[in-house]
Amino acid sequence: MNREPFYKRYFKLLTKPAARISLGVILAFGFVAGIVFWGGFNTGMQATNQEEFCIGCHEMKNNVYEEYKSTIHYNNRSGVRAICSDCHVPKDWTAKMIRKIQASKEVWGKITGKIDTRDKFLSHRREMADREWARMKANDSQECRNCHNFEFMDFSEQSSRAARIHQTALRGDDKTPATGETCIDCHKGIAHQLPEMHGVEGW
Amino acid sequence: MKYLNMSMKKVIAFTMATLFTGLVSASEMGGLSSLRSDELKLSIESPAVALKKVRESDTLLKRDFIQQPPLIPHAIRGYDTNKNVNSCLRCHSWKNASKWGATRISVTHFTDRNEKQLADVAPRRYFCVQCHVPQADAKPLKENKFEPVDSLK
């Protein structure tokens, strides 16, 4: 009778070379399993990037989503939209994985009910906003630039006020050097209401 | 006796109310027309007028009288003015105006109602759009002959 504990048996099974299965079968199986798991993984990544997923929780639906609904990224003349993940989840694979793993902290917040009432949400708004601003500042507002690219901005189509400020930020003028500012430095609170702004740079 | 009085009063009040309601509905049924004309009937919805575009201008908009608060020559969609933040002051405060090339708010905005000088915008001047408004290219609803004074022409 085999009296070994089960983990030892499984360890042996996993470490011993297969005696009866050909290498071809193992490779074929691995290939298929790879497609299934990788595909499933990416499907999961994509599913958690859907707007429906984000507003599945009342914390998002009743606070930030409601505010976003009146802004230009939700509703505009041409119907091109930016949903939650377009701004809040990077497109680049590595950055996306890092952000997704960080988001597990948000799952913990959901379980413990950190912002499950309006008052709690408001009292944490500045903290959450600060974190998101810092993230966008650090990656040069990459999520904005995925759509709004300086290279392809037609300044002549902008109001002269906007054109002047954008050009100064981009390459400076005869008096001022390029400011090196990134989108989020000026465009805060474009999709959600602003928190208490005391002490925020430039405000 | 007191209780009886109370209940009698109630009965009388109820009867009066019922009678009055009956009278009013009878007059409505009686084909009397109201002063409100048919075009203004509450049941008829007039088509909504198209929204006007906000007038964007690089230069200051002309004032029509001396005391007129300067007009806002740009759109202000999504600008918050609340307990947390005043989006106008993002550019128009004394601290930030030179960076953006924006007009600074007037010094008169720093005094309270007792003419006491304050260090920051007075609470009574905090809500910008109470006086300063953007403009749309809208025709006057009623023709008028208003003309600005000579010094503003």
Test B90 with A193 for CB contact under 8 angstroms: no
Test B78 with A196 for CB contact under 8 angstroms: no
Residue B150 lies in a domain: no
Q: What is the ipTM of this complex?
A: 0.76
CATH number, residue B106: 1.10.1130.10
Residue B99 lies in a domain: yes
Residue B102 lies in a domain: yes
Q: How many domains does chain B have?
A: 2
Test B80 with A196 for CB contact under 8 angstroms: no
Structure tokens at B98: 């030179």
Q: What is the pLDDT of residues A60-118, one digit of tens each?
A: 999 999 999 999 999 999 999 999 999 999 999 999 999 999 999 999 999 999 999 99
Residue B148 lies in a domain: no
B24 and B57 part of one domain: no
User: How far is the C-alpha of A36 from the C-alpha of A14, rounded, in Å?
Assistant: 21
CA distance B105 to chain A (A): 15
CA distance A170 to chain B (A): 15
User: How far is the C-alpha of A60 from the C-alpha of A56, rounded, in Å?
Assistant: 8
Mean pLDDT of A23-27: 90
Structure tokens at A3: 């009296």
A vs B, Cβ pairs < 8 A, gives 37
Q: Is A180 left (phi over 0), alpha (psi -120 to 50) or beta?
A: left
Test B80 with A189 for CB contact under 8 angstroms: yes
Q: What is the pLDDT of residues B5-49, one digit of tens each?
A: 666 666 666 666 666 555 555 455 567 777 777 667 777 777 888
Within 10 angstroms of residue B86's Cβ, the number of other Cβ atoms is 20
CB A100 within 8 A of CB A45: yes
Residue B64 lies in a domain: yes
Q: Which residue do the tokens 């990459």 mark?
A: A142
A123, A197, A200, best to mutate vs chain B, most B CBs in 10 Å: A197
B12 and B58 part of one domain: no
Which residue ranges of chain B lie beneath pLDDT 50? 1, 26
CA distance B84 to chain A (A): 4
Structure tokens at A30: 């691995």
User: How far is the C-alpha of B96 from the C-alpha of B89, rounded, in Å?
Assistant: 8
Pick the residue from chain B with its C-alpha nearest to A203: B90
- Tell me what pLDDT residue B14 has: 67
Residue B128 CA, distance from chain mean position: 13
Test A72 with B77 for CB contact under 8 angstroms: yes
Task: Please say if the pLDDT value at position A197 is more than 60.
Answer: yes
| Chain A neighbors of B90, CB-CB under 8 A | 202-203
Name the residue range of residue B77's domain: 52-138
B14 and B76 part of one domain: no
B25 and B67 part of one domain: no
B85 and B125 part of one domain: yes
Task: Please say if the pLDDT value at position A52 is more than 60.
Answer: yes
- Tell me what pLDDT residue B117 has: 95
What is the H or E stretch that residue A42 is in?
A: helix A23-47
User: How far is the C-alpha of A11 from the C-alpha of A4, rounded, in Å?
Assistant: 11
B118 and B66 part of one domain: yes
Question: What does pTM read for this prediction?
Answer: 0.77
Test B85 with A203 for CB contact under 8 angstroms: yes
- Tell me what pLDDT residue B44 has: 76
Helices (H) and strands (E) in chain A, counts: 12, 0
B85, B92, B98, B103, best to mutate vs chain A, most A CBs in 10 Å: B85
Strand ranges for chain B from DSSP E: none
Residue B36 lies in a domain: no
Within 10 angstroms of residue B100's Cβ, the number of other Cβ atoms is 17
- Tell me what pLDDT residue B1 has: 47
User: How far is the C-alpha of A191 from the C-alpha of A15, rounded, in Å?
Assistant: 54
Residues listed for chain A? 203
Q: What is the pLDDT of residues A120-169, one digit of tens each?
A: 999 999 999 999 999 999 999 999 999 998 888 898 988 888 888 888 88
The angle at the Cα of A158, spanning A148 to A191, to the nearest 5 degrees, equals 50
- Tell me what pLDDT residue A34 has: 95
User: How far is the C-alpha of A33 from the C-alpha of A18, rounded, in Å?
Assistant: 18
Contacts of A160 (CB under 8 A, 6+ apart): B58
